[in-house]
């Protein structure tokens, strides 16, 4: 009589779960770094998930089980009707899709759907904001005549007027005079390069000559000796170079453009240091980085990837 194994076949070792895990990791990294990397991770995860589920539902072992010959009874003579030659096959064909596998796959699939419905919205709220491109658009600060040559003007404005006061920003604007036939400006951010606290001009302001252009407020300075952070003692010179305290680099700056006689402030960029002053200054520009991050030197290797701003 044939001996049949009543135990279901257990799938052998597989690399599909490893590939699926790698795809999920790449997807998570891509959500922070780039949509292209996130898409690649999603594709890899889906492909390996399909291959993994296919193996689970196939019910076929990865390796062939050697066939064990039936045991023959020993002792007395075996009747011809009970002999191997006269025995009719009594084994049943194994089900290709046993009920246990179907239930297992259905449970896993339903759990994945429920987990996705719960997890995806939460992940969207957590990782979505960096992809909203929160960097400001160009904003008009006023006519060129509002910026006296050689003096800083404290410009306060709303980066996104539709959002109201929550988007109010401050920048220090100095007209450096003409350079190659075009007006030259230095526009310095008020965010400290240490932890982002607001730096202040080291000198008196001239509120009597305050000007207002819509939601833009311009207050000229009388004279300043640089900028200082009241929170942690960071100090900068008039070009934004760090001179003392914990900041790791110079103050960030803004790009600018001039149209129809008006000054427009653009997107921010980071600066490692500045050589020279005014319109003759050599600005060492870098991709915009968050406060506390080095942009040059060996320390910058600790920040190889910048998330979208």
Higher pLDDT, 205 or 95: 205
Percent of the chain with pLDDT over 70: 75
Please report whether residue 173 resides in a domain. yes
106 shares its domain with 150: no
DSSP, residue by residue, 273-294: EEES-GGG-EEEEE----TT--
- Residue 96 CA to residue 135 CA, distance in Å, equals 57
241 shares its domain with 275: yes
The last residue of a domain, from among 86, 117, 132: 132
195 shares its domain with 211: yes
Lowest mean pLDDT among 9-18, 57-66, 134-143, 285-294: 57-66
Per-residue pLDDT at 142: 92
149 shares its domain with 228: yes
121 shares its domain with 158: no
Average pLDDT for residues 157-170, to the nearest whole number?
A: 84
Please report whether residue 86 resides in a domain. no
148 shares its domain with 36: no
Contact in structure between 293 and 299 (CB atoms under 8 Å): no
pTM: 0.60
| Residue 191: domain span | 139-302
30 shares its domain with 116: yes
With a CB cutoff of 8 Å and minimum separation 6, the contacts of 93 are: none
CATH code, domain with 232 = 2.102.10.10
Please report whether residue 1 resides in a domain. yes
Nearest to 72 by CA among 92, 87, 94, 56: 87
36 shares its domain with 101: yes
Average pLDDT for residues 48-74, to the nearest whole number?
A: 66
Per-residue pLDDT at 30: 75
45 shares its domain with 170: no
Please report whether residue 69 resides in a domain. no
Nearest to 258 by CA among 152, 185, 177, 206: 185
Please report whether residue 71 resides in a domain. no
203 shares its domain with 244: yes
- Residue 258 CA to residue 144 CA, distance in Å, equals 9
Decide: residue 184, CB within 10 A, 0-12 exposed, 13-18 middle, 19+ buried: middle
Please report whether residue 309 resides in a domain. no
- Residue 129 CA to residue 176 CA, distance in Å, equals 37
Q: What is the CA radius of gyration of the chain?
A: 35
pLDDT tens figures, 10-41: 555 667 778 888 888 888 777 777 778 888 88
The last residue of a domain, from among 132, 159, 185: 132
44 shares its domain with 170: no
Our count of domains for the chain comes to: 2
Please report whether residue 13 resides in a domain. yes
Start-end of H helices in the chain = 16-33, 35-58, 99-127
Please report whether residue 260 resides in a domain. yes
231 shares its domain with 251: yes
Site of tokens 């920003």: 169
């Amino acid at each position: 009589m044939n001996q049949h194994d009543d135990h279901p076949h257990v799938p052998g070792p597989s690399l599909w779960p490893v590939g699926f895990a790698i795809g999920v990791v790449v997807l998570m990294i891509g959500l922070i770094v780039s949509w292209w990397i996130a898409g690649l991770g999603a594709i890899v995860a889906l492909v390996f998930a399909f291959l993994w589920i296919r193996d689970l539902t196939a019910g076929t072992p990865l390796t062939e089980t050697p066939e064990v010959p039936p045991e023959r009874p020993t002792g007395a003579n075996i009747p011809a009707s009970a002999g191997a030659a006269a025995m009719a096959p009594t084994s049943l064909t194994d089900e290709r899709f046993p009920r246990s596998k179907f239930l297992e796959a259905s449970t896993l699939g339903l759990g994945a759907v429920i987990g996705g419905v719960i997890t995806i919205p939460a992940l969207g709220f957590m990782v979505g904001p960096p992809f909203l491109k929160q960097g400001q658009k160009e904003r008009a600060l006023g006519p060129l005549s509002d910026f006296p040559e050689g003096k800083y003007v404290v410009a306060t404005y709303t980066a996104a007027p539709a959002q109201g006061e929550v988007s109010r920003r401050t920048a220090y604007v100095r007209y450096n005079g003409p350079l190659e036939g075009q007006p030259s400006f230095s526009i310095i951010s008020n965010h400290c390069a240490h932890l982002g606290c607001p730096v202040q001009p080291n000198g008196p302001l001239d509120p009597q000559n305050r000007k207002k252009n819509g939601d833009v407020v311009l207050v000229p300075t009388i004279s300043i000796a640089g900028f200082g952070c009241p929170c942690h003692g960071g100090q900068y010179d008039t070009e934004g170079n760090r001179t003392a305290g914990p900041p790791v680099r110079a103050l960030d700056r803004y790009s600018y453009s001039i149209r129809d006689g008006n000054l427009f402030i653009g997107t921010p960029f980071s600066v490692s240091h500045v050589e020279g002053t005014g319109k003759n200054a050599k600005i060492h520009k870098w991709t915009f980085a968050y406060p506390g991050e080095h942009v040059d030197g060996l320390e910058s290797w600790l920040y190889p990837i910048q998330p979208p701003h």
